[in-house]
Amino acid sequence: MSSVLSLSDVCWRYEDGASWTLAGIDLSLTEGEVVGLVGLSGAGKTTLLLAMAGLIPANYAGQFSGRCSVQGELGIVFQDPETQFIGLTVEEEIAFSLENRGQDDRAIERRIEDVLALVGLSGFASRSPFELSGGEKQRVAIASALAHAPKLLLLDEPTSELDPKGAREVFSLIRRLKEEERMTILVASHATEELAQFCDRMLLIADGAIVMDMPADAFFSQVASLDAHGIHVPDMVRLYHALCTEGVLDEKTTPCPRTVEDMLTLWQSLVRKGEVAIP
Ligand SMILES: Nc1ncnc2c1ncn2[C@@H]1O[C@H](COP(=O)(O)OP(=O)(O)OP(=O)(O)O)[C@@H](O)[C@H]1O
């Protein structure tokens, strides 16, 4: 699998910042992987995504150093989708990024239909993006980012301003983009319960440095490190590790379930095998 993005020793300091907001980031993203980025507020997640998207001016001497290269285009979606909207209708909103690339009207129309179907918003083309629910707005923003078929999609806390229903819509869209479109996605989020369910790889950023970078299973097994960094450990992961400590489950033979459904399946199989008894 080929690399779609690589950062090498990237450092960035805001003009009025006393310290480095990004302090020597080395990172490579591989085609097809879905990566979760977690870290406390102010750790540098948004700044890292801006650097990846080339939105941090790399020519500012004294503020930027290192190398960042992206193979192909990328799409980025921010926390508050409304700040990105410029169209009066959903259709205009999505068309904007395509018109700027000089595509003809028929191709643009087809692409709009395709991306709206992809994000589950067929029939929304003539609606105002400002009058949609939070989850729908975020899906329109994702559709706009996907319109020009980017190789990499960056999502910056895409559910932090949404109610549980809107958040579920966005997370299930991310899963669909992973499973059906095989997209390469990086999601910065505090929602570790959901990230644990679909991410292949996890990154933890603290004080501008990547301090953990590993497959999601290994990442979530580091309960003590996650606790020490103030990262929420998903309930199923915590339950699994408590059961391992109690000797009910064996870490060597039983992989950690990431969802309630997976835990239920594991539990039912243990009951069937007589390894645990329900009193
Ligand atoms: N435009 C700016 N000018 C100066 N400092 C900034 C600017 N934007 C961010 N910072 C500072 O850079 C640091 C990292 O901020 P960043 O927004 O990247 O963190 P984050 O991990 O995304 O936080 P959150 O989870 O709250 O969104 C913080 O200390 C923040 O105050």
> 224 lies in a domain?
yes
Type of residue numbered 7: L
Query: Would you say the CB of residue 230 lies under 6 angstroms from ligand 1?
Result: no
**Residue 131 neighbours by CB under 8 Å, 6+ apart:** none
> 102 lies in a domain?
yes
ipTM (interface predicted TM): 0.97
Q: Are both 93 and 44 inside the same structural domain?
A: no
Residue 268, CB-side half-sphere exposure with 13 Å CA sphere: 6
Q: Are both 65 and 22 inside the same structural domain?
A: yes
Give, for all 279 residues of the chain, the pLDDT tens digit: 789 999 999 999 998 878 899 999 999 999 999 999 999 999 999 999 999 998 887 767 678 899 999 998 999 999 998 888 989 999 999 998 787 677 788 889 999 999 999 999 999 999 999 999 999 999 999 999 999 899 999 999 999 988 999 899 999 999 999 999 999 999 999 999 999 999 999 999 999 999 999 999 999 989 999 999 999 999 999 999 999 999 888 888 888 898 889 999 998 988 888 877 665
Range of the domain at 114: 80-149
> 31 lies in a domain?
yes
How far, in Å, from the CA of 177 to the mean position of ligand 1? 28
**Ligand 1 atom nearest 48 alpha carbon:** 18
> 226 lies in a domain?
yes
CA 234 to chain centre: 16
Contact of 237 with 51, CB cutoff 8 Å: no
Strands 152-156 and 184-188, by their bridges, are parallel
> 178 lies in a domain?
no
**Ligand 1 atom nearest 16 alpha carbon:** 4
Q: Are both 134 and 160 inside the same structural domain?
A: no
pTM, rounded to two decimals: 0.92
Q: Are both 245 and 221 inside the same structural domain?
A: no
> 175 lies in a domain?
no
Query: Would you say the CB of residue 46 lies under 6 angstroms from ligand 1?
Result: yes
Q: Are both 38 and 160 inside the same structural domain?
A: yes
Q: How many domains does the chain have?
A: 3
Residue bearing tokens 């239920």 = 264
Type of residue numbered 272: R
